Amino acid sequence: MRGGMLSMSVVGCLGLTLASGCVSLNEHRRLQAANRTLAAEKEALHQELFDERSVNDNLRNKVTSMERERSANGELLSNLRSENELLDKTRQMALSTLEEMQNRQTLGELGLSKLPADLDAKLKRFADAHPSEVSYDSTSGTIKWKGDLMFAPGSDVVKQSSANSIASFADIIRSDAATDFEVIVAGHTDNTPIGKPATRAKHPNNWYLSAHRAIAVGSVLQKNGYPGERIGVMGCGEFRPIADNATPQGKSTNRRVEIYLVPRGTVVHMASSAGKASAELATGK
């Protein structure tokens, strides 16, 4: 009897021990699973941190690049402003010279009493032969072409009809009657801003367009045998209107090209004066 009770006691202890061992194994497995989960989360956090650092580095590089670009743009803008100021002052000087010429009542102030009679007569006949396109002012020695007939809107390409009349004009100023003269070609526009991007790419504003048109007319004169060294060109943009830009008719009148007959040496004198002024402005003197 006692031996039986002892056997049962041993079996009971063994069962309790086994039960305790099972509980410890399950807990161990649970902890292992939890540890793996934590390790995975840690790895994910490391990857996320790495990604965030990469994004941050990229943003920092972009900011640095943008700051450098802004600095370069600022320097470029400053240079463009300085250049524009220089060009504007040079233009003002050129326009003042032109205005002074326009205000003269006779050519006597330029050293001559009037255009030679035969030259004056030729220019009058020339204007009479092209009444819809050309006008002539004998008191100032000025031939004026209507810009709408000479160029397409926004263009600096001389129309063939005007090229023909300019060729006839070149014959006159190449004649012996005009030996003592040379020409200044001045382009003018109305005050309508350049609108089309394609046009603006070639002529940023009316000042450029007027200058390019004057150059085009000077080139036609040169192609027809008139010496380039006796040609001066200038662009006045919308700054010398002769009519009210508030009306379509006024705008059309303001779009023009004027050619002034001036004594030989005037173009060189104007160029030398403008060059000296530009040099002084550039050096700050």
What are 69-98's pLDDT values in tens digits?
888 888 888 887 877 777 777 667 666 666
pLDDT in the model for residue 196: 94
Beta strand extents in 58-180 (DSSP E only): 134-137, 142-146
Which helix (H) or strand (E) element contains residue 256?
strand 256-263
Q: How confident is the model at residue 155 (pLDDT cuts 50, 70, 90)?
A: very high
Tokens of 179: 């030996």
* Residue 151 belongs to some domain of the structure: yes
Contact between residue 266 and residue 182 where contact means Cβ atoms under 8 Å apart: yes
pLDDT in the model for residue 283: 56
Contact between residue 175 and residue 149 where contact means Cβ atoms under 8 Å apart: no
* Residue 213 belongs to some domain of the structure: yes
This prediction's pTM? 0.60
- What proportion of the chain, given as a percentage, has pLDDT over 70? 78
Q: How confident is the model at residue 271 (pLDDT cuts 50, 70, 90)?
A: low
* Residue 32 belongs to some domain of the structure: no
Residues spanned by the domain of 265:
88-283
Q: Reply yes or no on whether the pLDDT at 277 is more than 60.
A: no
Over residues 13-54, the pLDDT tens digits come to: 444 444 454 558 888 788 888 888 888 888 888 888 888 888
Which of 91, 40, 42 shows the shortest CA–CA distance to 205? Answer: 91
Which of 216, 212, 218 shows the shortest CA–CA distance to 230? Answer: 218
Number of structural domains the chain divides into: 1
Over residues 162-187, the pLDDT tens digits come to: 999 999 999 999 999 999 999 999 99
Alpha-carbon span 15 to 53, nearest angstrom: 57
| 3-state SS assignment for residue 71 | helix
Least confidently predicted of 4-18, 34-48, 188-202, 241-255: 4-18
Q: Reply yes or no on whether the pLDDT at 209 is more than 60.
A: yes
* Residue 60 belongs to some domain of the structure: no
Which whole number is the average pLDDT over 271-276? Answer: 56
Higher per-residue confidence, 87 vs 244: 244
* Residue 246 belongs to some domain of the structure: yes
Alpha-carbon span 72 to 226, nearest angstrom: 46
Over residues 101-143, the pLDDT tens digits come to: 555 433 344 443 478 999 999 999 999 999 999 999 988 889 9
- SS3 sequence, 100-129? HHHHCCCHHHHCCCCCCHHHHHHHHHHHHH
Of the CA atoms within 13 Å of residue 171, those in its CB half-sphere come to: 8
What is the average pLDDT score of the chain?
Answer: 82
Alpha-carbon span 114 to 101, nearest angstrom: 14
Cα angle 207-211-212, degrees, rounded to a multiple of 5: 115
Q: Reply yes or no on whether the pLDDT at 5 is more than 90.
A: no
pLDDT in the model for residue 101: 55
* Residue 152 belongs to some domain of the structure: yes
The CATH number for 179's domain is: 3.30.1330.60
Q: Reply yes or no on whether the pLDDT at 257 is more than 70.
A: yes
- What proportion of the chain, given as a percentage, has pLDDT over 90? 51
Which whole number is the average pLDDT over 217-221? Answer: 98
Alpha-carbon span 154 to 261, nearest angstrom: 27
* Residue 201 belongs to some domain of the structure: yes
Which string of b and e fits 260-274 if b means at least 16 CB within 10 Å? bbbeeebbeebeeeb
Alpha-carbon span 230 to 215, nearest angstrom: 13
Q: Reply yes or no on whether the pLDDT at 234 is more than 50.
A: yes
* Residue 112 belongs to some domain of the structure: yes
Which helix (H) or strand (E) element contains residue 185?
strand 181-188
Q: How confident is the model at residue 273 (pLDDT cuts 50, 70, 90)?
A: low
